[in-house]
């Protein structure tokens, strides 16, 4: 895929982002109760995105594909808005296409690794979110759904039998030999601490954001609601950027955590603008590094 095609998808993702935000009216500013907490939350959120970029680089390294931190940041930052394109194909393809520019690795292999990276992110997020649901007493309501998704993702990520079955299924459909890159279990185990740190940063960021706009007392488990809502939103392929899905899940979780319905709605809806702030920062950083790399 040529550079002009990458630029085209970047512009398309921005158009879909603006359309989705205006259509769903997520651009209203909340009343800030604690400005220092808000500033810290944005820093932790930026740390989450930087950590996500690092995890992408680490995932590639485990597959013996070596790229610089600058390339990893550029590929991640420029594709961060791709999830707002319906179908979320660019969520997987975006960073893979960018990396393929400077390597000799086939795009299909990079796309498979990017999908594996996304699934690993969702798997870790569901574990963190599941812990939060257990703490706030929501297992009876959501526990079986989380456990079902975790079971399926565990099979996809860790089972060699399922991996072989997937390869054979794709081979039958495409009628040609295909090999999907797969990491050994010990290499995947070494990634767990980094992906866990990534989710911890997101948890702390959302906790601080909730403190910033909520007048009542906020407990730390509130922060675990965002990894849950964010990952389930990513799994809803029919909803661009998880719009509506993430907010609905957050409201339900926050109410279980003891937050009033009015403040739960305020935190949930306002979080979209907060996330957009972090995404914009990482996009600008990725854009700047990309421009500097290309001269």
pLDDT in tens, 217-229: 899 999 999 999 9
pLDDT at 256 (0 to 100) = 94
Would you give the DSSP letter of residue 80? G
Q: What angle do CA 193, 142, 165 make, to 5 degrees?
A: 60
Nearest to 180 by CA among 194, 165, 199: 165
> 181 or 143, which is more confident?
143
Q: What's the whole-model pTM score? A: 0.90
Q: What ranges do the domains of the chain cover?
A: 3-18+31-294
pLDDT in tens, 46-79: 999 999 999 999 999 999 999 999 999 999 998 8
> How many CB atoms within 10 Å of residue 195?
23
Contact 13, 77 (CB under 8 A): no
User: Sorting pLDDT into bands at 50, 70 and 90, what band is 243?
Assistant: low
- What is the C-alpha separation between 264 and 215, in angstroms, rounded? 11
pLDDT at 184 (0 to 100) = 81
User: Which region among 31-40, 169-178, 247-256 has the lowest average model confidence (pLDDT)?
Assistant: 169-178
pLDDT in tens, 255-294: 999 999 999 999 998 998 899 899 999 999 999 999 887 7
Nearest to 215 by CA among 264, 171, 252: 264
User: Sorting pLDDT into bands at 50, 70 and 90, what band is 26?
Assistant: low
> How many CB atoms within 10 Å of residue 110?
24
CA dihedral (261, 265, 268, 271) in degrees, to 10, reads -130
Residue 216 has pLDDT above 90, yes or no: no
Contact 116, 181 (CB under 8 A): yes
pLDDT in tens, 110-125: 988 998 899 899 999 9
Radius of gyration of the chain (CA): 19
CA dihedral (200, 202, 206, 207) in degrees, to 10, reads 10
Average pLDDT over residues 134-150: 89
Helix ranges restricted to H, 102-159: 107-135, 144-158
Contact 221, 135 (CB under 8 A): yes
Mean pLDDT for the chain overall: 86
User: Sorting pLDDT into bands at 50, 70 and 90, what band is 179?
Assistant: low
> How many CB atoms within 10 Å of residue 179?
11
């Amino acid at each position: 895929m040529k550079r002009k095609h990458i630029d085209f998808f970047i512009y398309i993702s921005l158009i879909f982002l603006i359309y989705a935000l205006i259509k769903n009216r997520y651009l209203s500013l909340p009343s800030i109760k604690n400005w220092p907490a808000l500033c810290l939350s944005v820093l932790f959120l930026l740390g989450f995105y930087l950590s996500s970029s690092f995890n992408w680089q680490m995932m590639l390294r485990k597959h013996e594909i070596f790229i610089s931190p600058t390339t990893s940041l550029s590929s991640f930052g420029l594709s961060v808005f791709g999830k707002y394109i319906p179908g979320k194909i660019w969520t997987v393809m975006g960073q893979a296409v960018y990396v393929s520019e400077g390597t000799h690795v086939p795009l299909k292999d990079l796309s498979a690794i990017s999908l594996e990276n996304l699934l690993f992110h969702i798997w870790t997020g569901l574990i963190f979110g599941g812990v939060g649901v257990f703490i706030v007493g929501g297992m009876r309501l959501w526990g079986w759904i989380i456990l079902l998704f975790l079971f399926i993702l565990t099979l996809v990520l860790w089972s060699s039998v399922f991996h072989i079955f997937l390869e054979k299924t794709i081979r039958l459909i495409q009628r040609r030999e295909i090999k999907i890159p797969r990491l050994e279990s010990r290499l995947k185990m070494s990634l767990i601490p980094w992906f866990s740190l990534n989710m911890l940063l997101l948890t702390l960021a959302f906790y601080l954001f909730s403190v910033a706009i909520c007048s009542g007392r906020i407990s730390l488990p509130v922060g675990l609601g965002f990894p849950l809502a964010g990952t389930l939103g990513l799994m809803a392929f029919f909803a661009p950027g998880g719009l509506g899905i993430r907010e609905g899940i957050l409201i339900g979780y926050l109410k279980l955590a003891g937050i009033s319905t009015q403040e739960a709605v305020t935190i949930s809806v306002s979080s979209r603008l907060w996330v957009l702030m972090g995404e914009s920062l990482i996009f600008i950083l990725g854009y700047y590094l990309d421009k500097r790399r290309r001269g």
